[in-house]
Structure 1
């Protein structure tokens, strides 16, 4: 079983004769513990082409120190990483749980030793007045060797400050103190990253997103710049939430599904700017992934929704039908995890990263974003408006409302692409499309929930369960009808885009 830990730290390069300054002057620090010395040996695992390292991920097996074992570190934000740990186990066999969490990056390639680090570490702890640990400061003398690289070992000194009970102000103050004493902020966020400098593969979606985002901030970005920036951010989000979804973390499946839908929607809304021979084949694959994520998400939403409702009824214990829903959700998670191991998924990720690394832009994409994006946002809005107007005459109003909701999402995502360039008018369009989407979503959620409750009631063998299901059914139907009553007024209050 992998144990999760959030690591918040900063690293600093230091010369061999560097002296760690007095640290009791830092805010909130009352004392510094006696130093402890450790000899650490770490073997780092990656694919042959360093796919994990390219995404800032490290996977190692470390002996020595107070936390010997397998460590998987995944970037989680500025100066922070999600760290998952597992026991030492076998030296050359990555624990299956950790291997699964990096499957979206390894994509079927075997994980093998790529480097070793020998570290002589001296640790002191920064303590508050009650003796609580605020942070750990590690003074590391490191010798790193790239396996099969044929080069000489690399040696350096590094100071690492990791928060425990302290806050980021302490982290900032410690860094300022160390820099004043002669240290400098480390160029790499990890020791492995420093050792492998210059050996990493082509830019990742994260790096492409940063470059494209810089382009959209320029005075005259092209339409293609804006679309690539948005797509790269969504591919990055997809990869960020992949391991979280595998761990069934709260809202991870939802966010991964939204990123998938955004990519698919933008590939359609911005087709005039993209080579359709490359982008059209991606859309059914993205739908396949969204559907796999959707099965889990829909059950997750129902479970959370009904759990809250049941608690509001002061029910005693968990009803059998709600427990059954939770079992269905767990089964859906297992199917999702199986889908995320399929070559089909890895091929889709490869194609998406290639899409943002070498975007298939048309000649029209080279025009200015200011001139092109408004046209395409207005076109997406027009499709949404036509869908809404068609509800009244539709033979199947339920399907027509559902289609309108999908078109509202598409208009919203199309406008999101333009926000970095067009500013407030695009933001307002996003907001207005979202308003319509949410009203239709409230209605649809109520209908889906009431249909589920009705089916569960037909199977209920317990009188108390049948009663609670009936009460909840009435609540859901009322909320669905209330949402439907808001629909016309919401639409009337939403102006068309104005750029």
Structure 2
């Protein structure tokens, strides 16, 4: 495991493991030798006592999230486990402080987008008798850990649920080759163990109590809303933790939801769709400064590094770093305040309600195609509005409008992907190219204002402002080059392959 911590933030560890069921009377599978494993350390025995917390309707369990207070072992404390991918989870820890029945605020806030403010209560108790074996290579380096667990569990609810079972876990050590896990997997299965179908001990114990998330609803739009809402919530946790790219991904999810609500509003209750789109616009606006600051900081730092040293005059990097770090702190605080607000929780509740009512959504193939065709028509109208404009602020604004319409058209294609064909996918690819190029154009235009501000600050501090002026001039050429690319790419959109119903 790899631990990270900053100040009072939870300690974070990456966890890559596989679970297996093994009959109580079967011996521990022999894992020496298995792949690079050539030795096994002496066993360590622990008794672990864990109390699990969730909302009364198991909202965390439905999302694959585990929250517990554990006593015993080398890592006792409060643990929050977040799903990352197959065999992989991220574990956040805080010490055993405060009351045993009260979840620490640092963890409770992280899952607020899932709990929607509902109280976190004790839902299960597990006692594990664990025997651990470190698996080593020929040089004595630890590659993985094999744990043999005998588990006794009790879950509450309308009807108490008791269970006792045995399971084996193999956890990969930090820095070890993932292929080690595959080698050990083959040896364990050959010895009679079976891959567990349960992602966690808690889910195994409470499976009958946790409401089913269900599969595809049969509604293209409802399934799309569900998918994007989940993406919004997963990155909610990342934004609160200041994780890399989380603001960007959460903003993308909010935009995709908003785009679908506006593009397909004729398939929905118009008042509901318009109201939700307005709230998602608010959310995007609260997240926007943080993301815009990230983009500008990265762009300008890269441009300065690419300049010949003799053209970088004064403390350019230091002044930029100071500016963007201050902006980042303010922007992140704004984003987190939005996520902590009642308005945001109300938005999540409303999106949940919309996605859960597929029968009230009219999204047959004909309706979906008409909506995509409308998005295409609005994109063409926006492009036509640019044609006669002279270079300047008005044309920059018009190109930004084209970018927004291209993005909405692309999102419309993404939404109907389950019922679309190859020709729509080709059209979508060409539209995305236009969107990306105009995104670069817009970034350059916005960055110009920042360069002017930085130049004025440098001058006020008796610093040399030459480099900022140089970058400002270069940005004009970059914007013009982006415009030329857009003109060429638009020809592919307008004359390229597309479905007949889109013409």
State whether TM-score is above 0.5: yes
Partner-residue secondary structure (3-state), 1:18? coil
1:151 matched residue in structure 2:
160
Q: 1:202 to 1:292 in 2, by over 3 A?
A: farther
**Residue in structure 2 matched with residue 380 of structure 1 by the alignment:** 375
Deviations 1:154-201 (A, max 9, x none): 211111111114344332343333333332222320111111112123
Instruction: Note if contact 1:57-1:73 (Cα within 8 Å) is conserved in structure 2.
Output: yes
CA spacing shift, 1:301–1:386, aligned 2, 3 Å = same
Do the aligned partners of 1:272 and 1:362 also contact (CA within 8 Å) in 2?
no
Length-normalised TM-score, structure 2:
0.89
Q: How far apart are 1:375 and its partner, in Å?
A: 3.4
Deviation of 1:423 after TM superposition, in Å, equals: 3.5
Which residue in 1 is equivalent to 2:325?
A: 326
Query: Within 5 Å, which residues of 2 pair with 1:399-414?
Result: 399-414=397-412
How far 1:394 sits from its partner (Å)? 5.9
Is 1:5–2:4 an aligned residue pair? no
Name which of 129, 145, 153 aligns with 2:138: 129
- Equivalent residue of 1:390, what SS? helix
Shift of 1:278: 3.0
Aligned to 1:94: 103
Equivalence for 2:120: 111
How far the C-alpha of 1:308 sits from its partner, in A, is 1.9
SS at match of 1:318: helix
Match of 1:359 in 2: 358
| CA distance 1:439–1:148, change in 2 (3 Å) | closer
Are 1:441 and 2:451 matched, yes or no?
A: no
* Worse overlay, 180-189 or 289-298: 180-189
Rounded Cα–Cα distance in structure 1 between residues aligned with 2:159 and 2:490: 67
Superposition pairs of residues 20-39 of structure 1, within 5 angstroms: 20-39=28-47
Map Cα deviations across residues 422-463 of structure 1 (whole Å, 9 max, x no partner).
232122121111111122211111110011111222233234
Aligned length: 479
**8 Å Cα contact 1:416/1:426 also seen in 2:** no
For 1:138 and 1:491, the matched residues in 2 are separated by 59
Q: 2:5 corresponds to which residue?
A: none
Aligned partner of 1:219 in structure 2 is: none
The 8 Å contact of residues 454 and 473 in structure 1, kept in 2 or not, is answered as: yes
CA distance in 2, matches of 1:465, 1:120: 68
Name 2:148's counterpart in structure 1: 139
How big is the shift at 1:202? Answer: 5.4
1:416 aligned to 414, 417, 436, which one?
414
Q: CA contact under 8 A between 2:157 and 2:209: conserved in structure 1?
A: no
**1:61: which partner in 2?**
69
Q: 2 CA distance for matches of 1:36 and 1:312?
A: 55
Give the aligned partner of residue 6 of structure 2: none
Cα offset, 1:482, TM superposition: 1.7
Work out the CA distance in 1 between the residues paired with 2:361 and 2:240. 37
By how many angstroms is 1:269 displaced? Answer: 1.4
Larger CA deviation: 389-398 vs 326-335: 389-398
Q: Which moved more, 1:8-17 or 1:334-343?
A: 8-17
Separation of aligned partners in 2, 1:279 and 1:360 = 16
Question: What SS does structure 1 have at the residue aligned with 2:232?
Answer: helix
Conserved? CA contact 1:44–1:115, under 8 Å: yes
The answer to whether 1:237 aligns with 2:226 is: no
Deviation at 1:48, TM superposition (A): 2.3
- The answer (yes or no) to whether the contact 1:121–1:139 under 8 Å persists in 2 is yes
3-state SS, counterpart of residue 159 of structure 1: strand
Specify the alignment match of 1:344 in structure 2: 343
Separation (CA, whole Å) in 1 of partners of 2:226 and 2:23: 38
Q: Are the structure 2 counterparts of residues 237 and 26 from structure 1 closer, same or farther at C-alpha, using a change threshold of 3 Å?
A: same
d(CA) in 2 for partners of 1:241, 1:280: 24
8 Å CA contact retained: 1:57, 1:72: yes
Which moved further from structure 2: 100-109 or 404-413?
A: 100-109
How far residue 10 of structure 1 moved from its aligned partner, in angstroms, is 1.4
- Candidates 240, 249, 260, aligned match of 2:254: 260
Match of 1:456 among 454, 458, 464: 454
* Aligned equivalent of 2:209: 199
TM-score (norm 1): 0.90
- Rounded Cα–Cα distance in structure 2 between residues aligned with 1:63 and 1:281: 47
Give 1:300's aligned residue.
294
Distance, in Å, in 2 between the alignment partners of 1:230 and 1:83 is 29
CA RMSD of aligned residues (A): 2.1
Q: Is the 8 A contact 1:418 1:426 kept in 2?
A: no
Structure 1 equivalent of residue 384 of structure 2: 389
Q: Is 1:272 equivalent to 2:266 in the alignment?
A: yes
8 Å Cα contact 1:56/1:75 also seen in 2: yes
Call closer, same or farther: CA 1:228–1:454 in 2, change over 3 Å.
Answer: same
Contact 1:321–1:465 at 8 Å: present in 2 too?
A: no
Distance 1:61 1:477, change over 3 A: same
- Give the Å deviation of 1:477: 2.2
Summarize the Cα distance change of 1:486–1:254 in structure 2 as closer, same or farther, 3 Å threshold.
same
Change (3 A) 1:180 1:89: same
Residue 479, structure 1, aligned to residue 487, structure 2? no
Q: Work out the CA distance in 2 between the residues paired with 1:14 and 1:4.
A: 30
Structure 1: 5+ residue stretches without partners: 216-224
| Secondary structure class of the residue paired with 1:446 | helix
